[in-house]
């Protein structure tokens, strides 16, 4: 009986790290899913349309106008002057610069026209308007 107690008090020669690795893999997978699932952008409620061919191209720049009239370029808030400067730089790098304009359905029409005038002055001809597909 004394031998049994002595055997239970023996130090371990190795540590089982399998549960720790399982936890590490779960955390890694969770981190990967969370980082790839996040999409940059500003949420707006887009108007509904029957048009279906408004797909963005890979180097497309996105301009968003929110319900309160704020303007965003690729999810960064900008003024009209900053928008003009940044789009001019992008246009210089890519003469066929495609731009997608996404405006909230209650956004003021003059803000949309202001952005379109900036695009026209910079000779940006590839402009897509984002809408929702009608059900």
Domain boundaries, the chain: 2-37, 48-133
CA gap 78, 99 in Å, rounded: 15
pLDDT score of 79: 92
pLDDT score of 39: 53
Query: Could you list the pLDDT tens digit for every one of the 135 residues in the chain?
Result: 555 555 567 776 777 778 888 888 888 888 877 776 555 567 777 777 665 555 544 578 889 998 888 999 988 899 999 999 999 998 888 888 889 898 888 888 888 899 999 999 999 888 888 887 777
pLDDT score of 41: 64
CA gap 88, 90 in Å, rounded: 5
User: Which conformational region is residue 90 in: left (phi greater than 0), alpha (psi within -120 to 50 degrees), or beta?
Assistant: alpha
Radius of gyration of the chain from its Cα atoms, rounded to whole angstroms: 27
CATH 3.90.25.10 fits 48-133, yes or no: no
pLDDT score of 36: 67
pLDDT score of 97: 86
Q: Chain centroid to CA 24: how far?
A: 27
pLDDT 10s digits, 44-76: 777 776 655 555 445 788 899 988 889 999 888
pLDDT score of 57: 47
> What are residue 100's phi and psi, to 5 degrees?
-115, 125
């Amino acid at each position: 009986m004394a031998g049994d107690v002595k055997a239970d008090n023996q130090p371990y020669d190795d540590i089982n790290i399998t549960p720790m690795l399982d936890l590490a893999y779960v955390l890694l997978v969770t981190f990967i899913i969370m980082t790839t699932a996040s999409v940059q952008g500003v949420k707006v409620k887009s108007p509904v349309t029957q048009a279906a061919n408004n797909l963005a191209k890979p180097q497309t720049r996105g301009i968003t106008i929110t319900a309160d009239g704020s303007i965003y370029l690729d999810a960064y808030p900008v003024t009209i002057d900053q928008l003009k400067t940044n789009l001019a730089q992008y246009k210089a790098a890519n003469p066929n610069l495609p731009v997608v304009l996404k405006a909230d359905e209650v956004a003021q029409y003059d803000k949309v026209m202001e952005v379109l005038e900036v695009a026209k002055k910079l000779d940006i001809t590839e402009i897509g308007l984002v809408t929702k597909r009608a059900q």
